[in-house]
């Protein structure tokens, strides 16, 4: 992982929330929220919350009086999440590193993290921290994307960027979001962190956009891929977005377009 992979600043949070969240995150957020409340919970921690798509889905499902603490390492993303969240039910917001959580041992019944563990510099340490703050019998629930080949819009945008701008080494999507979807490695890392009961489920879905340009804009301007491409100028950015839009239109048609997405949902206790 490069330092650029963790940069969600400037205009990225706005594009992320407007284009990428409805494209790939909302359905998985609703699924993860339902899994969190499938067992009784009173105190819940969310790490790497991003722009708050899980927070918006989960907060209304928690029992009255539950404590819900939402954290992210990146303050601009956390501010974006806070701005979108209703004030009721109450949510605690805290900038925090998932590898160094500022909570006492055995503080929570559940820890959840949607598509964030791929950004951990040391996943075993991150998993160990989740285990440390869980009460006995508590659950750690999180998502990881499958390989980029199983996530078609991301694959198209990456291929176009590499073709038009090979010197940029535009590998962010393949390297980080889609570079850790290995169930055997996930299980081994969780076991190393001390978890013994681990369930890994493959969840396939459909990614839908109102226009072929939306996936191109989402991945180019709403992710750290932007940091790999932006130094080559706005004209090149628009050229990549235009070419990816045409590729998506050629493959999936005019108007509303849909493509495959696939990830893993993991429950460890």
pLDDT > 60? residue 24: yes
* 3-class secondary structure per residue, 212-243: CHHHHHHHHHCCCHHHHHHHHCHHHHHHHHHH
pLDDT value, residue 65 = 94
Strand order in the sheet with 43-46: 92-95, 67-72, 43-46, 108-113, 134-145, 257-268, 198-209
User: Where along the chain do its domains lie?
Assistant: 3-268
Rounded to a whole number of angstroms, the distance between the first and last alpha carbons of the chain is 28
Name the DSSP letter for residue 38.
Answer: T
User: Is residue 99 exposed (0-12), middle (13-18) or buried (19+ Cβ within 10 Å)?
Assistant: middle
- Rounded to 5 degrees, what are φ and ψ at 177? -55, -40
The predicted-structure confidence for 230-267, as pLDDT tens digits, reads as follows: 999 999 999 999 999 999 999 999 999 999 999 999 99
Residue 9 token pair: 């600043």
Contact 242, 266 (CB under 8 A): no
Give the mean pLDDT of 114-129: 96
* Range with lowest mean pLDDT among 75-84, 176-185, 209-218, 222-231: 75-84
Q: Which CATH code, of 1.10.630.10, 3.30.43.10, 3.40.50.150, 3.40.50.1220, is assigned to 3-268?
A: 3.40.50.150
pLDDT value, residue 5 = 43
Select the more confidently predicted residue: 80 or 102: 102
Contact 178, 148 (CB under 8 A): yes
Give the mean pLDDT of 22-51: 96
pLDDT > 80? residue 121: yes
Residue 214 token pair: 């939306």
Select the more confidently predicted residue: 95 or 77: 95
Confidence of residue 1 (pLDDT cuts 50, 70, 90): low
pLDDT value, residue 77 = 84
Torsion, Cα of 159, 163, 169, 170 (10° steps):
-40
For the whole model, what pTM was predicted?
A: 0.92
* Region label for 122, one of left (φ > 0), alpha (ψ between -120 and 50) or beta (otherwise): beta
The predicted-structure confidence for 75-88, as pLDDT tens digits, reads as follows: 888 988 999 898 88
Contact 109, 44 (CB under 8 A): yes
Interatomic CA distance for residues 240 and 161, integer angstroms = 6
Contact 250, 188 (CB under 8 A): no
- Rounded to 5 degrees, what are φ and ψ at 107? -100, -15
Interatomic CA distance for residues 127 and 63, integer angstroms = 26
Element (H, E) at 224: none
Peptide bond connecting 89 to the previous residue in cis, omega within 30 degrees of 0? yes
Name the DSSP letter for residue 73.
Answer: S
Based on C-alpha coordinates, what's the Rg of the chain?
Answer: 18
pLDDT value, residue 14 = 86
């Amino acid at each position: 992982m490069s330092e650029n992979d963790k940069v969600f600043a400037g205009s990225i949070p706005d594009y992320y929330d407007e284009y990428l969240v409805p494209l790939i995150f909302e359905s998985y957020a609703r699924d993860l929220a339902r899994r969190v409340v499938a067992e009784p919970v009173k105190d819940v921690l969310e790490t790497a919350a991003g722009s708050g798509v899980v927070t918006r889905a989960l907060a209304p499902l928690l029992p009255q009086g539950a404590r819900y603490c939402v954290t992210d390492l990146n303050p601009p993303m956390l501010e974006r999440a806070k701005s979108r969240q209703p004030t009721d039910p109450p949510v605690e917001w805290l900038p925090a590193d998932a590898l160094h959580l500022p909570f006492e041992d055995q503080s929570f019944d559940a820890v959840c993290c949607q598509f964030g563990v791929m950004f951990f510099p040391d996943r075993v340490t991150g998993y160990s921290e989740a285990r440390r703050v869980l009460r006995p019998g508590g659950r750690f629930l999180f998502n990881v994307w499958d390989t980029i080949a199983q996530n078609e819009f991301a694959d198209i945008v990456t291929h176009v960027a590499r073709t038009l701008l090979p010197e940029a080494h535009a590998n962010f999507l393949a390297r980080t979001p889609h570079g850790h979807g290995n169930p055997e490695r996930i299980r081994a890392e969780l076991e190393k962190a001390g978890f013994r009961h681990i369930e890994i489920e493959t969840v396939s879905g459909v990614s839908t956009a109102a226009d072929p340009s939306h996936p191109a804009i989402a991945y180019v301007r709403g992710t750290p891929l932007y940091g790999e491409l932006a130094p080559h100028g706005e004209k090149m950015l628009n050229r990549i977005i235009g070419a990816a839009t045409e590729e998506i239109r050629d493959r999936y048609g005019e108007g509303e377009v849909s493509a495959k997405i696939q990830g893993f949902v993991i429950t460890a206790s």
